[in-house]
């Protein structure tokens, strides 16, 4: 019962967040008039078929332990827009592998990389194959369809973190590294229109992605997918948005610098961005400016001071009037990226090695509590420096009590609550998504204290990078040709063991940083008595309480840079 | 330490079994002269390439929690026959997803469906990409290669259970149901020659399967796979061979009648077997005969008695001089299949609904301890009857003490041990694979007691089948349009809740066996107080301790044939 109630409570929180997202999305649509004309029934991929052509019914193959990590492949999965449901048609040739005992607790898979969010659940409705005849029309989409939800497609941080990187990872797994293989399309099932960043998603598919609205056919119709894949990987996500606990980095995230680098290389190549020659003479920087809120009120002073005191030539970059391609191009070759905490900073993943990200936090906002970009650039091997600068001076902040609540206004709150917020000097930890104190503070404008800022940046620039490398785990191969011989003396038995170094070691010269070590295990046969030695030779004469009439089992394994290789096959002595 | 020792002990058992298998395999090779001429370097799929063409290095994507359930996809996995190792070349564009922390404990994946067998482990050796230049020649195999080990390819039971069914399941998952898609080949990495049943494996691949020996290139060469898939599913296996505990059916096996039927249909279609018209007049039967050991010494009497007493017309079938195709064709249309416990009985999976399998066990062999075929035909939905008949009369058994040990001879044992075995009337539970008492008893010839046998068969034939059906799990869809209204009276508050039946119910008439039920949950908001009702209407007025000024959350879900559908979205009252 408790579990269930928790679920419901979370559901309500999640719905609140979604309504917040939807509001923003709708605003954007109005702003940009991006609603595409719908060519219902004319989309080139749809082919009208008879029910008899799909008489093998639906089949499903799922992998994974829960909706969070489960992926499913379907043959002839169908969708009915009238009921807004996917359908599994059970026929005598339907296969179903890996379906969980209860696919409603809470769902079969997640449609988004954001885990276990109750607006992102995928399931299907069961029908007998015979019921297929009852539908008005059946349209078939040939080839591979990859179906998922964009989580918040109007916010650049969400676009990259929740969608594009997971898409890159999932598609490369599906197609053995070939991201946009010829026979596959994306289908956004989130219900949003194309929106601003559609062109970025398009880079991951050789065909134009479909929207959910493209599946709206007249009457009670079916759209069936020859092959559908569902389940966006969350292996690359590094941040959770605070639905169940205050926001923060994902524990045990599997994101690596390699993945980021391959992703940014892919995206730059697709966008046609070429590597720029750099003038090494002086540092250059980019200040990401905002136009309506969360402003830096003394941008120009700051830029001047950076030039004067640190010889950093800073250019302003406004995402409102810069294409993503240009923004990425410029950020890729800058030395210092500066911006107030906000979604544009997701582009810091394009920073080059040795660059510095400076994230500015308004008054009363603790940088340690909002770390999506710090976590990102701190991934070992990216080698990007990070500085959080926080306005600690109440007099340097400018707030707008009367703004709309979603932009931080607090006029709608009780006088008591308003005063409490105004008096507070730090937003307490909170859950997503509508905490008024958080919104009030994060939308503040800031006069950056130039002296404090310059001094912090100077320090960061001069600091050495830890220089961690995202090195592959290279293990020694199996130790071969282990030979063991009993040396019998009058009063003592010794075991002489010799072996060969693993065959791959001779190719690892450049990788090996310390002595090659060997671990030797000797066990008296069928006795619970095993001893182990660490050596740096390929042979040794062991002395101990060995018995002349006992049998001994010997195993050897090699250790290189603390990477422990596999044991040799057993040798009997 | 203990775990490790166990592993080693099992290893020794496993090796013993493998040497037993190899012996049989070699015998078969000698018998059949089936060693194929090797066209080294001439196999059409191999293309010689330069290291620079593989400069993206190796990539891997793995799924699963342990070597037993893990599958891995590779791009540019290579193999070096000189060291008999697969190689992962680590380059700057290598991806590695889902690799476990320690892939040597005990392995990355299993190459066979037989789980965790230490002769069936897959791993790779790490090399830096630069090392690729050091190899003499590089051959590339384009397309998809599915790499696995046949476990015991000369034994028909092993061929079907360990290899063909798992292959069918895995390939259908990989290719969305398309078993032998055009661009994929099988590679048997077990090291055996083609052997007798190669033609059966060939049915699962559009290209001729490769043997491990095909990868032997001259010098220190590499064979690299454009795309390799490793990890044979064990979702279809239903029997374990007694490596760690006495043999028996797999607990929680996921094999279903549907899978068996789809598999046998596939195989029959591939072999060109057409459904035979059946003469319904009288029952017909097949007695699988053996030629060298484990004989039924009174075959003819038995056949006559079956005809005379039960009007079953029985034909003999010897696998030694019948093609598999013919054997399957005949078994597919028989009513009664009779045979001594042995691998040929795996063909009972081709029995039609209502047929009977009669398995004969020699003296002192307890049918309950050896149940691969009983487990198979008892899969719910196959609807095949099963009868184990055991020779209980010592005088009806004929043994051969002086046979080779692997065929049950016991002359090599101590007189004491020989006498113990001869006096025993039941082989005790034992592990695989060389238990002398088991081998002694299972290779006995038997004079079947006709009276006892006929009487048992008569009883089985007359018994009704349980008639279990392998029905799909059809769940009701979500309950929609839940409306709740507070009815305020002077002294009592009632909640009136109405809803619609799930939209798929109207298509399920033929499936629904009992009343449609609804479960209604009502929770007082933010109070740990939830009540549930089961109803068979689509509306109800609930009375209880409801409060006028409280808020209530209402959920409804539908139950059909005990299958519980998903909850409606929350309705607030």
pLDDT in tens, B156-175: 999 999 999 999 999 999 99
**Residue B373: how many CB atoms within 10 A of its CB?**
27
Chain A CB contacts of B93 under 8 Å are 262
pLDDT of amino acid A25:
40
**Residue A410: how many CB atoms within 10 A of its CB?**
20
**Candidate from A121-125, A428-432, B18-22, B313-317 with smallest mean pLDDT:** B18-22
Chain B interface test: which of A70, A142, A177 (most B C-beta within 10 Å): A177
Residue B313: pLDDT above 80? Answer: yes
Q: What is the per-residue pLDDT across A328-384, written as a single tens digit (0 to 9) for each?
A: 999 999 999 999 999 999 999 999 999 999 999 999 999 999 999 999 999 999 999
pLDDT of amino acid B20:
45
C-alpha separations of A128 from A12, B34, B44, B259, B500 in Å: 34, 48, 46, 18, 21
Please answer yes or no on whether B64 and A63 come within 8 Å at the CB atom.
Answer: yes
d(CA B255, CA B357): 19
pLDDT of amino acid B541:
96
Please answer yes or no on whether B169 and A97 come within 8 Å at the CB atom.
Answer: yes
Chain A CB contacts of B183 under 8 Å are none
Q: Which residue has the higher pLDDT, A219 or A6?
A: A219
Residue A275 C-alpha, separation from nearest chain B C-alpha, in angstroms: 17
Judged by DSSP in three states, A521 sits in strand
pLDDT of amino acid A513:
83
Please answer yes or no on whether B523 and A8 come within 8 Å at the CB atom.
Answer: yes
Cite the beta strand spans of B8-83 per DSSP E.
Answer: 46-49, 59-63, 71-80
Q: How far does CA B458 lie from the centroid of its chain?
A: 32
C-alpha separations of B382 from A260, B236, B277, B359, B389 in Å: 51, 15, 20, 17, 21
pLDDT of amino acid B24:
45
Handedness of CA A184, A189, A190, A193 (dihedral sign): positive
A507 vs B127, B235, B530: nearest CB: B127
Q: What is the per-residue pLDDT across B200-251, written as a single tens digit (0 to 9) for each?
A: 999 999 899 999 999 999 899 999 999 999 999 999 999 999 999 999 999 9
pLDDT of amino acid B279:
63
Q: Which residue has the tokens 């009883």?
A: B459
Residue A93 C-alpha, separation from nearest chain B C-alpha, in angstroms: 7
Q: What is the per-residue pLDDT across A470-483, written as a single tens digit (0 to 9) for each?
A: 677 899 999 999 99
B95 vs A83, A258, A503: nearest CB: A258
pLDDT of amino acid B18:
44
B85 vs A227, A262, A477: nearest CB: A477
Residue B561: pLDDT above 60? Answer: yes
| pLDDT confidence bin for A567, thresholds 50/70/90 | very high
- DSSP symbol at B419: H
Judged by DSSP in three states, A14 sits in helix
pLDDT of amino acid A495:
96
Chain B interface test: which of A98, A173, A176, A265 (most B C-beta within 10 Å): A176
What is the arithmetic mean of pLDDT over B471-490? 91
Residue of B nearest to A105 (CA): B566
| pLDDT confidence bin for A1, thresholds 50/70/90 | very low
Residue of A nearest to B84 (CA): A503
Q: Is residue A96 within 8 Å of A74, Cβ to Cβ?
A: no
Q: What is the per-residue pLDDT across A27-64, written as a single tens digit (0 to 9) for each?
A: 443 333 333 333 334 446 899 999 999 999 999 999 99
- List Cβ neighbours of B290 (8 Å cut-off, separation of 6 or more): B296, B318, B340, B342
Please answer yes or no on whether B566 and A510 come within 8 Å at the CB atom.
Answer: no
pLDDT of amino acid A512:
84
| pLDDT confidence bin for B512, thresholds 50/70/90 | confident
Please answer yes or no on whether B95 and A503 come within 8 Å at the CB atom.
Answer: no
Q: Is residue A531 within 8 Å of A485, Cβ to Cβ?
A: no
Token pair recorded at residue B322: 């019948």
pLDDT of amino acid A37:
36
Please answer yes or no on whether B85 and A566 come within 8 Å at the CB atom.
Answer: no
pLDDT of amino acid A34:
32
Q: A182: burial class by Cβ within 10 Å (0-12, 13-18, 19+)?
A: exposed
Chain B interface test: which of A90, A95, A255 (most B C-beta within 10 Å): A95
Residue B125: pLDDT above 90? Answer: yes
Q: What is the per-residue pLDDT across A304-318, written as a single tens digit (0 to 9) for each?
A: 999 999 999 999 999
Average pLDDT, chain B: 90
pLDDT of amino acid B91:
95
pLDDT of amino acid B25:
40
Residue A22: pLDDT above 50? Answer: no
Residue A15: pLDDT above 70? Answer: no
pLDDT of amino acid A278:
66
B134 vs A74, A176, A507: nearest CB: A507
**Residue B368: how many CB atoms within 10 A of its CB?**
10
Please answer yes or no on whether A176 and B59 come within 8 Å at the CB atom.
Answer: yes
Please answer yes or no on whether A173 and B474 come within 8 Å at the CB atom.
Answer: no
Residue A25 C-alpha, separation from nearest chain B C-alpha, in angstroms: 23
Q: How many CA atoms lie within 13 A of A478 on its CB side?
A: 21
Q: What is the per-residue pLDDT across A451-466, written as a single tens digit (0 to 9) for each?
A: 999 999 999 999 988 7
Residue A183 C-alpha, separation from nearest chain B C-alpha, in angstroms: 14
pLDDT of amino acid B280:
66
User: In angstroms, how far apart are the furthest CA atoms of chain B?
Assistant: 97
Chain A CB contacts of B254 under 8 Å are 97
What is the arithmetic mean of pLDDT over B381-394? 97
Residue A258: pLDDT above 80? Answer: yes
Please answer yes or no on whether B95 and A5 come within 8 Å at the CB atom.
Answer: no
| pLDDT confidence bin for B282, thresholds 50/70/90 | confident
Q: What is the per-residue pLDDT across B316-333, written as a single tens digit (0 to 9) for each?
A: 999 999 999 999 999 999
Closest C-alpha to B405, from B424, B423, B418: B418
pLDDT of amino acid A515:
86
B528 vs A5, A130, A503: nearest CB: A5
Give the pTM.
0.90
Residue A171: pLDDT above 60? Answer: yes
Q: Which residues pair with A184 in a beta bridge?
A: A144
- List Cβ neighbours of B184 (8 Å cut-off, separation of 6 or more): B143, B144, B145, B146, B171, B174, B175, B205, B206, B207
Residue A139: pLDDT above 60? Answer: yes
Q: Is residue A54 within 8 Å of A127, Cβ to Cβ?
A: no
Residue A427 C-alpha, separation from nearest chain B C-alpha, in angstroms: 26
- DSSP symbol at A98: S
């Amino acid at each position: 019962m408790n579990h269930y109630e928790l679920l419901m409570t979370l559901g309500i929180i999640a719905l609140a967040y979604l309504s917040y997202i939807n509001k923003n999305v709708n605003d954007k649509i109005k702003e940009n008039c991006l609603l595409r004309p719908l060519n219902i029934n004319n989309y080139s991929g749809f082919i009208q078929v008879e029910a008899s052509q799909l008489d093998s019914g639906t089949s499903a193959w799922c992998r994974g332990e829960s909706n969070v990590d489960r992926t499913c492949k379907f043959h002839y999965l169908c969708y009915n827009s009238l009921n807004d449901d996917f359908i599994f048609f059970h026929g005598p040739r339907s296969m179903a592998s890996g379906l969980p005992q209860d696919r409603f607790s809470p769902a079969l898979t997640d449609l988004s990389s954001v885990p276990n969010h109750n607006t992102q659940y995928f399931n299907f409705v069961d029908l007998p194959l015979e019921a297929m005849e009852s539908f008005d029309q059946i349209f078939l989409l040939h080839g591979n369809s990859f179906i998922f939800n964009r989580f918040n497609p109007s916010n650049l941080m969400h676009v990259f973190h929740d969608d594009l990187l997971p898409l890159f990872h999932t598609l490369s797994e599906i197609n053995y590294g070939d991201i946009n293989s010829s026979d596959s399309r994306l289908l956004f099932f989130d219900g949003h229109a194309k929106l601003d960043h559609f062109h970025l998603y398009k880079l991951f598919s050789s065909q134009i992605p479909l929207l959910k609205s493209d599946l709206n056919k007249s009457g009670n119709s079916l759209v069936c997918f020859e092959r559908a894949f569902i389940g966006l990987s969350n292996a690359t996500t590094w941040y959770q948005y605070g639905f169940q606990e205050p926001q923060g980095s994902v524990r045990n995230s599997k994101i690596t610098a390699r993945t980021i680098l391959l992703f940014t290389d892919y995206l730059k190549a697709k966008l046609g961005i070429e590597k720029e020659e750099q003038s090494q003479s002086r540092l250059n920087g980019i200040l990401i400016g905002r136009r309506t809120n969360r402003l830096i009120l003394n941008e120009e002073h700051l830029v001047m001071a950076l030039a004067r005191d640190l010889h950093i030539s800073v250019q302003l970059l406004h995402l409102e009037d810069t294409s993503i391609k240009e923004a990425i191009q410029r950020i890729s070759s800058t030395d210092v990226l500066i911006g107030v905490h906000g979604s544009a900073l997701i582009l810091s993943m394009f920073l080059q090695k040795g660059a510095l990200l400076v994230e500015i936090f308004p008054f009363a906002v603790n940088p340690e509590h909002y770390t999506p970009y710090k976590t990102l650039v701190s991934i070992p091997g990216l080698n990007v420096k990070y500085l959080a600068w926080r306005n600690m001076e109440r007099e340097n902040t400018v707030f707008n009590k009367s703004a709309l609540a979603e932009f931080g206004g607090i006029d709608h709150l009780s006088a008591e609550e308003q005063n409490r917020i105004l008096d507070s000097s730090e937003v307490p930890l909170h859950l997503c998504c509508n905490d008024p104190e958080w919104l009030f503070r994060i939308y503040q404008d800031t006069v950056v204290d130039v002296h404090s800022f310059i001094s912090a940046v100077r320090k960061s620039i001069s600091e050495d990078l830890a220089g961690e490398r995202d090195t592959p785990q290279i293990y020694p191969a199996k130790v071969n040709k282990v030979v063991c011989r009993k040396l019998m003396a009058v009063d003592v038995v010794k075991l002489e063991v010799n072996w060969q170094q693993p065959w791959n070691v001779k190719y690892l010269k450049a990788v090996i940083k310390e002595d090659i070590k060997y671990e030797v295990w000797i066990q008296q046969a069928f006795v619970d008595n095993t001893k182990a030695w660490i050596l740096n030779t390929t042979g040794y004469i062991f002395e101990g309480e060995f018995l002349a009439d006992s049998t001994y089992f010997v195993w050897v394994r090699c250790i290189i840079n603390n990477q422990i290789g596999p044991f040799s096959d057993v040798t009997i002595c």
